[in-house]
Every structure is written in C-alpha cells, then in structure tokens.
Structure 1
Amino acid sequence: MPVTIDLKDAETRDALAARAVSRAPGEKPSLIGMSREEMGEALGEAGVKDRQIKMRVQQLWHWLYVRGVSDFAQMLNVSKDLRATLDERYTIARPEIVDEQISADGTRKWLLRFPPRGAGKPVEIETVYIPEEGRGTLCISSQVGCTLTCSFCHTGTQKLVRNLTAEEILSQLLLARDRLGDFPDKDTPQGAIVPGEGRKVSNIVMMGMGEPLYNFDNVKKALLIASDNEGLSLSRRRITLSTSGVVPEIYRTGEEIGVMLAISLHAVRDELRNELVPINKKYPIETLMQACRDYPGLSNARRITFEYVMLKGVNDSLEDARDLVRLLKGIPAKINLIPFNPWPGSAYECSDWEQIEVFADFINQAGYASPIRTPRGRDILAACGQLKSESERLRKSERLALEAMMIAGHGEA
C-alpha cells in the first residue's frame, strides 16, 4: 500500500529532517544508549568470541550504569587488550559542559554540547536538576529546539534543529549523576543542595526541550535503559513523560515504555488551546482525553498528571476551573498548576497568586489534587517553559561550505 508524505507540511518536513542524524567521519560511536543486543554486536565486531559476549556485555553494562565510569581504563575486570580495543573503536565520554548555572534555590542548569550529526555544526541543549525534600528531579531534553510553537513557551521560539539520539538523552542523566556525586566513589559538590538521603537523582521527567513523542524511538530506548533493573534501575513510576498531545504515540508510550504520563493541557476549550498549544488543531481535546482514558495501567495509583500553566486573564477564571473538573471526570488525575514563568519577549503575565489559590481550592474541593508548582530556578531561566539554546540548523549551502573547510583542515569539529 503506497504511503503519501505531505512535504508541504512544515511539521512533517522538520520531523523528517530531525531523523536524519548522521555521524561525522572519524567520530567514534558510543556504547552508551546501545541495547544489550547492539552492545553484543559491537563486541563481536571488536573480536570478542561468541561464547564470551554475554558475559562481557554484563560487565560493560555494570560499569556504565551501576558504577558510572566514563573511561574504559576504569573497567578493572576487563582485560587491558579489550579495553584498548574498545577505546580505539568506541567512546563512553560524557557530553561537553558549556555552562553550569546554580540558582539561589539550589536548582542547577547545564548547557550541554553535542556533535552536529546532520545539523551542520555542534548543537546545544539544556538540562535542569531540581532538588526537593526527599527527592531530586532531573528535567531531560529530547530535541534540540521544538516544532510545536506553544505560544507561552520559550523553547517553542527555537526552531527544531534535530532529534537527540538515545545516547544523548541518556547522557544527560549520567552527567547529572556524575556532577552530583550520585554514583559510587563520586563525591557530592561542597554545599550542593540535594536530598538528605537516598539517590541524588531519584526522578526524571521528559519535560525539557522538545516534544518527546516526536522522537519516540530514541526516547523509548533511553528510558528502557534508565529503568533497567541491572543498571540505572529507576522505577518507571519515577519516570514521567510529558507530551503536548501526540495522541498515536500516547498509546505506544503506555504499551511499549510503561512510564508515568503527563499532559501539557493549559486550556479546556479547543478555541483557546489551538492558540496556546497548536498541536490541538491536529489532536483536539476530545481525542486527547480519550487517549488518556485508554492509557494502559491507568489507576488511582498511576494517575495522569495534567499540567496547567496559569496565565493572567487567559485561562485562570473560576469558569475555567469548573470546565477543567468536568473535562477530567472519570480520569484518575492530578493537576499541576504552574505559575507562568516569564521569559524575554513573552506576551503573557502570570496569574495573580490569590487567583491561583482560588483556582486550586475549587479543583481540590472537586476531589482532584492540584498542587501549585513552586517556581524553581527562575533566576537562571531554568523554570518550566524557559529552556532554550542558541542552536540553529545550518542551511544546506552553509553545511557544504563548513564541510569543505573541515576537509581542507581549516575548520573545527
């Protein structure tokens, strides 16, 4: 059966371009982000005998995801010859940290740089760590930029450059655990604000730059490794994937990944949501709510989180609160009320605090938990909706010129 692709549709073009992630000549592939099967194939290509592959994969998996090493030389129970061979062929290095900012409230934001991989020049993304009493949450990015152009979101002002690979998604978690002393034999930075006991990174949320479900395969691969019981071993109930409403992949998320689901809702009527979250024109509220009701494993113990940014005079009336309660009827849910976090050039204002409390009280009285999310990291633009990098995808002519310079030895990778 023939498949038709509408290349006039900007979203389709961007999605196709983002999939074309290529490795530059001479760039070593990373073992991070590989499945066990892929790692086994890599070891076979490196000369490991078939009968030893399973055992060697187990060793590497332990060193990468339990011990958190980033240098083959640290893998002490692997022979020197094999370590040298792996080092020659592969990498397990962390991404480059361009900048690290620490908020007055302990929130940390890292600006990370990755190779071009089809974008023409190196790309940058932001990752945020939010320490709280009893837990530490890492907000992970899935794309460089975003296609969705949600009108209240700073990330939406940055055009999509490319998807992140499974390695790049997972590397954000590994790097954060490194920097926070969350691996064995690693020290927590002096004066860092972290949970008093247990893991420093206890929860992860796919709420950073990009729409995770427009990069489904790489996100799935990374989250399955993050939740693998013989490695990073994060409970799937401590992993939340947030989507603006890519309905077909919501079903796949429940069936193939099984993590907690969050929906960026922000409006209860299609007319307003079309403006705030333009993907609503493709997947309107009724369709989105049905996907939520059908989400596998949905129960009072596995509720869907609905994110609702509070915009003054836009979506914060008592009528909006009543309609929200009606909309969610029958769905085990909690509603995160997010005071709008301003960013340069934004057209919205945050709702008055008194109005947010009135809104929250109404929803609470209707039987739904409606915590008001405390703004974190505003002073370093690390709060919800504020993430953005300066990366742009080069035009084809610019990429060809850059490649010619690199071939001539005058460019930098």
Structure 2
Amino acid sequence: MGSKDQNQFQQTATLTPKQPTKLGASTALLGASLAELSAWVQQQGQPAYRGRQLHDWIYHKGVRSLTEISVFSKEWRSTLADVPIGRSTLHYRSVAPDDTVKYLLRLADGKIIEAVGIPTEKRLTVCVSTQVGCPMACDFCATGKGGFSRNLAQHEIIDQVLTVQEDFQRRVSHIVFMGMGEPLLNIENVVAAIRSLNEDVGISQRSITLSTVGIRGRIHQLAQHQLQVTLAVSLHASNQELREKLIPSAHKYPIQDLLAECREYVHLTGRRITFEYILLDGVNDLPEQAAELAQLLRGFQSHVNLIPYNPIREATYQRPSSRRIQAFASVLKQQKIAVSVRYSRGLEADAACGQLRTTHT
C-alpha cells in the first residue's frame, strides 16, 4: 500500500497519555501508566500515592467515573466529574449456545464496535477490534462489507478487554486482535494498547495474537517494537491471482513480497508466524492448492491455521465438507508443514471469525 493510501487511514486519535501534563478533560486516563497517573495526580495537588490508587481503580476495579473512587475525598472527586476514564457503554449483548458472548459497544462519539468473549474451562479469550469498520474489504468478511470509519484510540482498545473481564467476572487470559479492522493500519495505538494490557492489566504478551492481512512495511515496523506477541498473517490463498480476488488490497502487495517481510520478521524477533487460511468450498480448498501453499511456506518457521468458512449474509461462499478440510490438511502434513484446523466459536451469535458487524437482529 502506497504512502498516499496509508495516509488516508491515519486518524488523529484522542491524545495519548504520554505527556502527564495533558491528562485530564481533553483525554482519557485509560492507557496511562502508573508513573503517568502518579505524575498527573501530583499536578492536581495530590500526593503521589494517589496515582497508585487511581491505577488500581481504573485497571483492576473497573471504575467508570472518578467520582466513584471512594478512597478519594468528596471534595476532590467533585472536581474530577468531567475527567473521562475512557470506558464505552454496552449497546447490545448476545450469547451463543457455546457460551461465547458478543458485545456491541458504543464509544464516546456514538460509533459502535464489536468485541467477543470466548470462554473455556481454563481460559477466557477476548477478540478485540482495532478500527470502526475495516478498509480492507475482504470478499468473505462481514466487517469489510460495512466500510470504514476511523481508527480506535488506545483506551478504546483496552476498554474492550476490561468490559469482557467484568462481564465474565474472571480474568482474561488471552487476547486476539482479530476483531473489526486491520491492526497494522492503527499500529501506534495497537502497540501502545498491547503494552498497557501487559504492564497495567497484567496479561502476558505471549498470550496475545495480532492478526493482519499484510500492509507493506508495517510487519517490519512491528518487528522494531520487539513484542513477544504471536503474529498471525491472513493468506487465504495459495497464489497471487486468487488472493487478489479475495483480498482487494493484495494487488498492491504481492504475496512473495509479503512472505519476504514475514521471513524478515522471524529473523528480527525470533518469533514463529502463524498463517491463517480460511477454507472456502470449491474456491481455495483443492489438494493442488494445498500443495501450492506448502511450496510457498517451505523452510518457513511457521504454523498454518485452517479456518473453515463461517457464513455471512453478504456473501455466497460455503464451508467445505469435513472430508475436504481433512484432505487439505493432510497434504500440508505430508509436505512437513505444521497445521491445525480451527473451528470458530460463537457461530450462532454472528460472533465467529469473519462475521463481526455492528448491527444486530
């Protein structure tokens, strides 16, 4: 993607709290570190230890207004009524039969985004959005059909995790940046959110996965941050021609160039890459396409996640049969490619991979 194309997606988010002197009515506190909050409370004429109390109430007690912090004096709380923490409001909530929960969250400007809570006995995963809508317009994805509005600010990303954690009344253990939007088109806010989720909320970076269809130069940029997250690259095709049909932006970023940047990422970070491949019946699920994919990834420190297609109203693609799915996986295994099949949760609630949309019925 050229610089002109990238610039049109760059949005000026709420001022990030990197400069404590500017924390306050013009920006959200969520996303600020302990040191930044401590500096801010001192600028309000309060002792530094109030910063630790504020940090605890924001990140661990889930306070939504500073007026609710009972350890602060009533007099000081009254002066803080208009200082935003940066929390969203719940617009809609639905629960699938497998206990996956989809949330539509209303932001301060009225925009709606989605987050998904995916529970199992041992873990609670949150699928996080990074943009309002998505500019990538992938042909099989409901989010892309709805167009693009803006990037999410750092606090709007963190808020999704806190919302799910509070609703389930248990700690979030894993985060996947696989919700609405292309994370690498909002890389500064996404990286800042990851660091805060790690340092302030307490979620290990190794329990975080960031998914991208690939934006030229941005995987290299991500590598410079030396995060310990798992990078998941959405291929969805075994050759350039088919990939361009499924992912319109791919015509600006040939698959060989994308894979070269991925190899550089592995070299710079020492982290294995996951390649995601949505299986579409009769489109990209043939054995010869599996062999072609194996050839592309030969010698790569990687893992392939096969994702059977989740139907959406806006497209006519179908999910392959179990026999075709296993046949595709078998070809990859025969070619010594690490592979697994991932069946998405939340299908019945339109909360599965590729189904996220900001409307509900």
Q: TM-score, with normalisation over the residues of structure 1?
A: 0.78
Aligned to 2:218: 249
Contact 1:29/1:89 (8 A) holds in 2: no
Distance of 1:252 and 1:60 partners within structure 2? 33
- Aligned residue for 2:58, secondary structure, equals helix
Aligned to 2:32: 34
Distance of 1:153 and 1:253 partners within structure 2? 24
Shift of 1:77: 4.4
- Structure possessing the higher radius of gyration over alpha carbons: 1
Aligned to 2:289: 320
Contact 1:292/1:304 (8 A) holds in 2: yes
2:126 to 129, 132, 138: 138
Give runs of aligned pairs for residues 217-366 of structure 1, distance below 5 A: 217-228=188-199, 231-256=200-225, 258=227, 259-295=229-265, 298-299=269-270, 302-366=271-335
CA gap 1:295/1:133 in 2 versus in 1, 3 angstroms: farther
Distance of 1:328 and 1:380 partners within structure 2? 34
2:183 to 201, 209, 212: 212
1:124 to 100, 112, 133: 112
Contact 2:198/2:204 (8 A) holds in 1: yes
- Aligned residue for 2:217, secondary structure, equals helix
Q: After superposition, what is the alpha-carbon deviation per residue over 1:224-260, rounded to whole angstroms, capped at 9, x for unaligned?
A: 10011xx311111100110110132212222216121
Shift of 1:88: 2.5
After TM superposition, the structure 1 stretch with the greater mean CA deviation from structure 2, 375-384 or 64-73, is: 64-73
- Aligned residue for 1:161, secondary structure, equals strand
Matched, 1:170 2:161: no
Distance of 1:291 and 1:83 partners within structure 2? 50
Aligned to 1:202: 173
Ranges in structure 2 where 5+ consecutive residues have no aligned partner:
16-23
Distance of 1:40 and 1:346 partners within structure 2? 51
Ranges in structure 1 where 5+ consecutive residues have no aligned partner:
117-121, 183-198, 392-413
Aligned to 1:372: 341
Aligned to 1:181: 169
Aligned to 2:96: 103
CA gap 1:224/1:257 in 2 versus in 1, 3 angstroms: farther
Q: After superposition, what is the alpha-carbon deviation per residue over 1:63-85, rounded to whole angstroms, capped at 9, x for unaligned?
A: 22233333435545444444333
4+ runs of 1 displaced by more than 6 Å?
none
One-letter code aligned to 1:314: V
- Aligned residue for 2:56, secondary structure, equals helix
Distance of 2:25 and 2:92 partners within structure 1? 23
Shift of 1:285: 1.0
CA gap 1:36/1:250 in 2 versus in 1, 3 angstroms: farther
2:52 to 42, 52, 58: 58
Contact 2:223/2:269 (8 A) holds in 1: no
Distance of 1:204 and 1:322 partners within structure 2? 32
Q: TM-score, with normalisation over the residues of structure 2?
A: 0.88
Aligned to 2:64: 70
Contact 2:280/2:318 (8 A) holds in 1: yes
Contact 2:67/2:81 (8 A) holds in 1: no
- Aligned residue for 2:225, secondary structure, equals helix
Shift of 1:106: 0.8
Q: After superposition, what is the alpha-carbon deviation per residue over 1:352-378, rounded to whole angstroms, capped at 9, x for unaligned?
A: 221001111222233333221123211
Contact 1:139/1:208 (8 A) holds in 2: yes
Aligned to 1:19: 12
Distance of 2:319 and 2:165 partners within structure 1? 33
Q: How many residues align?
A: 350
Shift of 1:56: 3.2
After TM superposition, the structure 1 stretch with the greater mean CA deviation from structure 2, 355-364 or 70-79, is: 70-79
Shift of 1:287: 1.3
Distance of 1:162 and 1:27 partners within structure 2? 22
Shift of 1:27: 7.1
After TM superposition, the structure 1 stretch with the greater mean CA deviation from structure 2, 99-108 or 214-223, is: 214-223
Distance of 1:164 and 1:47 partners within structure 2? 32
One-letter code aligned to 2:64: S
Distance of 2:139 and 2:86 partners within structure 1? 37
Contact 1:21/1:163 (8 A) holds in 2: no
Q: After superposition, what is the alpha-carbon deviation per residue over 1:97-136, rounded to whole angstroms, capped at 9, x for unaligned?
A: 11110000111000110122xxxxx110111111234222
Distance of 2:78 and 2:166 partners within structure 1? 24
